[in-house]
């Protein structure tokens, strides 16, 4: 008997009406339909100071960094939607990754929140490339910290006109493709389990 895959879903945005929050929720619905247990978090609810080794040395891991890191450790898979800021990922996403990469205590395995995780990445952007350039950087970072990033990724261009008022995508094929990202991640986790 296989256990239910656990997937953590989030976007690298704090904006309330974020296109990427909408996008990752579509992928999360696909993962749930495939049988995964999905936890969606909003990085807006976990504000973090900028990563600072002096602050870390004085106060240890901030409480919200510990919460984020614990959530990552508790899940086998990651669904991440990343906006593109100036051809790269957002500061809030990079900062969350940096804090989660730090050991909470000397006995913790290096990169405990990332090692052995399987991730699917996606993006929505007002630009014509849909955030594709930012996904290149996100993939590189995650792979360098021991995350297996699945090859399929989707970048949704012209995001300002891509969504319906109910946060679904206007293009039914695009909607299905995003849901399939979550479905595929679930199926891979089942096979790896």
| Domains by residue range for the chain, with CATH | 6-192 (3.40.50.360)
Element holding 40 (H helix, E strand): strand 37-40
* pLDDT for position 109: 87
Q: How many CB atoms lie within 10 A of CB 30?
A: 24
* pLDDT for the residue numbered 1: 39
User: In Å, what is the CA distance from 122 to each residue of 28, 103, 107, 119?
Assistant: 12, 27, 34, 10
Angle 19-33/172-192 helices, nearest 10 degrees? 50
Residue 1 CA: distances (Å) to CA of 79, 190, 193: 25, 10, 10
Instruction: Please report the pLDDT score of residue 2 as a whole number.
Output: 61
For the chain (193 residues), the mean pLDDT of every run of 10, in chain order, is: 87 97 98 98 98 95 96 98 96 98 89 97 95 97 98 97 97 98 98 91
CA gyration radius for the chain? 16
């Amino acid at each position: 008997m296989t256990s239910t895959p656990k997937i953590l879903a989030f976007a690298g945005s704090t904006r309330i009406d974020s296109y990427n929050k909408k996008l990752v929720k579509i992928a999360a619905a696909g993962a749930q339909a495939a049988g995964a247990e999905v936890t969606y978090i909003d990085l807006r609810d976990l504000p973090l100071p900028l990563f600072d080794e002096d602050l870390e040395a004085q106060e240890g891991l901030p409480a919200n960094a510990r919460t984020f890191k614990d959530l990552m450790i508790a899940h086998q898979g990651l669904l991440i939607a990343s906006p593109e800021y100036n051809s790269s990922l957002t500061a809030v996403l990079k900062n969350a990754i940096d804090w989660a990469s730090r050991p909470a205590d000397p006995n913790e395995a290096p990169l405990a929140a990332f090692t052995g995780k399987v991730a699917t990445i996606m993006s929505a952007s007002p630009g014509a490339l849909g955030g594709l350039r930012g996904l290149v950087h996100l993939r590189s970072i995650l792979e360098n910290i021991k995350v297996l990033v699945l090859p399929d990724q989707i970048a949704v261009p012209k995001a300002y006109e891509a969504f319906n008022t109910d946060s679904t995508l206007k293009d039914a094929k695009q909607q299905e493709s995003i849901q399939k990202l979550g479905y595929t991640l679930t199926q891979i986790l089942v096979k790896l389990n």
